[in-house]
Chain A
Amino acid sequence: MQLEASGLRLNRGRFSLCVDNFSVKGGEIVGIGGPNGSGKSTFLRLLCGISAPESGVVRLDGKDMRRFPRIEIARHISLMGQEIPMPFALSVNDILRTSAYSNPQNEDRVEEILDICSISALRYRDYNTLSGGEKRMVLFAASILQDAVILLMDEPGTYLDPDRERIIFSVIEELRDKGKSIVLVLHDISALHRYSDKVCLMREGKTVGFGPKNEIMTEENLKTAFGLPFRTYDSPEGRRFTYTF
């Protein structure tokens, strides 16, 4: 299933977002990178229809997404957002059940998904008592449980220890290999290159480049996006990035 965006424009006070073309198809991980405030998260919200653009269109399988009811979109697209503050005591189990809203049968898979994410022990814990990393794992598990074909994830690896980071990225790669379409916002340049098939670099609401990662993540483009002099060199473990202040 393909998700495409063309001619997206959004103005929010002094910030304006402008993405002329973007797409992700089945079996592909697209990474979005860029400095803070470059519009990465805003762009994700447009992609799943939570925000509406002032002009332009997002197409789901060729059809204008505005024509789908909210629940239908949720059956196709999931969004793992950034941190969620919780005013009341919901257990991890309660939170996972909410992500099965668009497809209640998925409630039966709570145990399985928690196991895949290695957080079975947290199932009946109160979400508010978890650490930052554990909370990220719960939101990751909730987003997997939703079982959409297109998964959008905003900084899934933040706050995670190396072992948990390994778990989530191996789950993400496995889902990609099963034919899911995945869009990741990643802050870390090396992770962006390592896990993405395609990369979209952004700066001040505009795309610096979008395409296969090796074509896009060049020293020149990175300088444009981040304003820092990056050095890249290829090693047996993949491309490495360093920068100097």
Chain B
Amino acid sequence: MDILKSTLGTSSQLMSSLKWITAVGALVLVTIFSLFLGQVNIPFQDVLRIVEEQIFPFSNAYPRSGAYWVIVVELREPEILGAMVIGSTLAVGGAVIQSVFRNPITEPYIIGISSGAALGAVVVLDFGITILGIYSLQIIAFTFSVATVMVVYLGAFRKGRVPLTYLLLTGIAVSLFISSFVAYLIFTNLKLQNMVWMWLMGSLAQITWTELVIAFAINWLTIFIVALYWKELDSLQLGEEYASSVGINVERTKLMLILLVTLSTSICVSISGLIGFVGLVIPHVSRIIYGGSNRVTIPAAMVIGGIFLILCEDIANIAITQEVLPIGIVTGVIGAPFFLYLLSRMAGGGYAT
């Protein structure tokens, strides 16, 4: 009996290790594979040489100029790496917000991040603000986004606490209010509509290396910190009263987690626009495959979010010729059916019915 138990134990550990190896392997493969995809057909050898020249600078593996170099280094790589870090951040943010709110249909955008950033972006585009240099839009969108979350959080304050229902409803009300202004600005400036439309649907085409360095540095750090909070998040899933009874300072933990998610998600939104679906659905995909404890959900969301958004970016690039689709269209079209399929596979159990 003991032998059976220990064998079963190891085999389930083996299964779980295999799942992780597959996921991380898939992320690496998808990243590399995506380098070869795009509107312009670049020979396999050239891509390899360009990467070699980047890894071993000035080894003269490839001339650091010319169309192919620019396409791979300045366009494809930022797009792929941007998709990776943004997919990870949105998915992890979703896992955290869903656990904190104990609500499977919430996501980071709900506390005002997206509407705030949208207002910032539209204001910059409408009034042609360039006061903060070439990154005016990103900086202002980020600032508006963080400021909106602060307004929502303070607006939900009741007697030294921030009750979740108030936070959620305040977030929705403030978001709707701000969205009306965004709609008004778009309505009154027809020239703006194309640009704003691209931004609202999300796009990775404009990402620069500077933005990438900032996003990777800050967002990976916040994901790392958030992952350390898995015990608090699991307890919060069981309710604030329960979390409090096992020793968690609920209000402080909530504030800390919301700050981390707001910071990292606002960075994403300010450089890529509003990419929907990832924050809502990837956490569920992670839970279905890896389990509901945040000990595994958060690392899984990080990997799967990255894979998912890179794949969506690939499809956005090659789906129609001579044109790049806004990535927000692809995330929904690809993600929703896949998610429905996973849900149908869960025969009973899983979610509270």
Contacts and interface: CB of A to CB of B under 8 A. Distances in A.
Interface of A: 45, 48, 50, 69-75, 78-79, 81, 84-91, 94-95, 97-99, 101-102, 126, 128-129, 146
B250 to A, nearest CB: 8
B242 interface: yes
A78 B246 CA distance: 7
Given A71-B249, A101-B248, A126-B350, A84 B287 contact: no
Contact of A91 (B237, B247, B291, B351): B291
Given A70-B248, A85-B239, 5 more contacts: A71-B247, A87-B102, A87-B104, A88-B351, A101-B248
Nearest to A77: B245
B350 A102 contact: no
Nearest to A95: B238
Nearest to A75: B247
B249 A128 contact: no
B352 A86 contact: yes
Contacts of B126: none
A89 B234 contact: no
A75 B243 CA distance: 13
Contact of A74 (B232, B247, B291, B351): B247
Interface in B242-297: 242-250, 287, 291-293, 295
Contacts of A90: 234, 237-238, 292-293
A94 B292 contact: yes
A101 B236 CA distance: 12
A45 B241 contact: yes
A71 B102 CA distance: 22
Contacts of A48: 245
Contact of B237 (A69, A81, A88, A97): A88
A96 B103 CA distance: 21
Interface residues of B, number: 33
A97 B231 contact: yes
A48 B241 CA distance: 11
B350 A98 contact: no
Contacts of B350: 89, 126, 128
B293 A128 contact: no
A128 B349 contact: yes
B243 to A, nearest CB: 8
B351 A102 contact: no
A88 B292 contact: yes
B245 A98 contact: no
Contacts of B104: 87-88
A97 B250 CA distance: 18
Contacts of A81: 241-242, 245
Given A81-B241, A97-B231, A98-B235, A87 B351 contact: yes
Contacts of B239: 84-85
B66 interface: no
A129 B248 CA distance: 27
A94 B237 CA distance: 11
Contacts of B133: none
B351 A101 contact: no
B238 A84 contact: yes
A60 B352 CA distance: 38
